[in-house]
Amino acid sequence: MDVRYHETPDDVARPGLGVDPAALSTDDLLRELRRLHDTRHLTFRHGSEDALTNHDRRTSELEREYLRRFPEREVDPQRLRDL
């Protein structure tokens, strides 16, 4: 089985921090966000303090990048609350 991974230039790879979110393709950004959202509960319940801090940091980085790319994203009216 031939498995290929995206090659990452050295200038966007950040040891211990992951790839710079701005350097990710949209598909990669969405995949990473989905994975972090999927693992949030387990990290919160069972991860070390360092794991939780890292998870929070990376989630924030990726979510900010998503919002930068898609400032006019579709908002579901059913998800809005009356204030």
pLDDT in tens, the chain (83 residues): 444 445 555 555 555 678 999 999 999 999 999 999 999 999 999 999 999 999 999 999 999 999 999 999 888 888 888 76
Please give the model's pTM, rounded to 2 decimal places.
Answer: 0.74
Number of domains composing the chain: 1
59-71 burial, b at 16+ Cβ within 10 Å, e below that, comes to bebbeebbeeeee
Asked, for residue 66, whether it belongs to a domain, the answer is yes
Would you state the pLDDT for residue 1?
Answer: 47
Asked, for residue 3, whether it belongs to a domain, the answer is no
With beta carbons less than 8 A apart as the criterion, state whether 33 and 62 touch: yes
Region of residue 54 (phi > 0: left; psi between -120 and 50: alpha; otherwise: beta): alpha
Would you state the pLDDT for residue 71?
Answer: 92
Residues spanned by the domain of 36 = 18-70
Would you state the pLDDT for residue 73?
Answer: 87
